[in-house]
Structure 1
Amino acid sequence: MTESLTHAESIHVAADPETVYATVSDVTRTGEWSPICRECWWDAGDGPRVGAWFTGRNVTPDREWQTRSQVVVAEPGRAFGWSVGPGRVLWTYLMEASDGGTTLTETWDFTPEGQAFFIEKYGDDAPAQVAEREAAARSGIPETLAAIKRVIERG
């Protein structure tokens, strides 16, 4: 596995890009929209800035785990993203003004480094584990975007 696995989808949100950014960059609200991540918290004194660290608690029917992430892009009204691991998976929200609101795009990039980690961790089961994560991203991104839209538009 030498290439990133990527997926991205978009949705229109009836709010300006700054409002959308303020919402998605508040990782403490992630549990309001993510189908897997139940909560996130910043390291003491941190917030949505490049270099900041946070922890996420994830839950599926089969397991519960925590991840450590570092913010890699924080451009108000434009983009917010973080690296899980770091370096294993990159998640990014992109905002673009459109039709009196914002086109919000969520991207997922499972890096070659992340895939190598899975090979080391899971051995022969790595391809199945990678496929499971890819399927979760493909189904989770539209669900997440729809939930963010609901959260923002209901005020």
Structure 2
Amino acid sequence: MTSSLTFADSIEIAAAPEAVYAVVSDVTRTGEWSPVCRACWWDEGDGPHVGAHFTGRNETPDRTWETRSEVVVADPGRAFGWAVNDRRVFWTYAIEPIDGGSRLTESWEFTARGQEFAIEKFGPDAVAPRERMAREGIPVTLAAIKAVVERG
């Protein structure tokens, strides 16, 4: 692998950027919108700030696993992002104000190093399913976040 795989998608939400940020930066709520991540919890005393750590529990029909993440972006009302498992994968929510609310963009980056790790651990067919999960999951996640935020 010589380059990262990336994917991003956006949705408009009828809420101020600060309200959207308050939801997406609360990783303990991730199970409400993610099709794969069922739960997240902060390390004791941590919260949504750069350098904070949290654990996530993921489930697919084939397996259940946990990841360790570090917050790498925490800019209230603008962006929240984290690196997974020693910076092998990055997830970011970028928020921009628009007429009537916010545009939320979710981005995924599967680094070359992350791809190499997945292939070593799970075999040569390990990358494509992860890319498919991101491409299929991000629009589902964004729609669910929109519903959560707009519900209040």
Aligned length: 152
The Cα of 1:61 is off from its aligned counterpart by 0.7
In 1, distance between residues paired with 2:144 and 2:121?
32
Calculate percent identity across the aligned residue pairs: 69
Give the root-mean-square deviation of aligned CA atoms. Answer: 0.7
Match of 1:49 in 2: 49
2:119 and 2:127 in contact (8 A); partners too: no
Query: Is 1:58 the counterpart of 2:61 in the alignment?
Result: no
Deviations 1:44-95 (A, max 9, x none): 0000000000000011111101000000000000000000002110000000
Query: Is 1:85 the counterpart of 2:82 in the alignment?
Result: no
Tell me, what secondary structure is at the counterpart of 1:80? strand
In 2, distance between residues paired with 1:137 and 1:89?
11
In 2, distance between residues paired with 1:146 and 1:52?
27
Q: TM-score, normalised by structure 2?
A: 0.98
Match of 1:97 in 2: 97
State the 4+ residue runs in structure 1 displaced beyond 6 angstroms. Answer: none
Q: TM-score, normalised by structure 1?
A: 0.96
Match of 2:128 in 1: 131
Deviations 1:78-131 (A, max 9, x none): 000000002110000000001220000000000011012113213xx33x2100
**Structure 2 residue ranges without an equivalent (≥5):** none
In 2, distance between residues paired with 1:119 and 1:139?
21
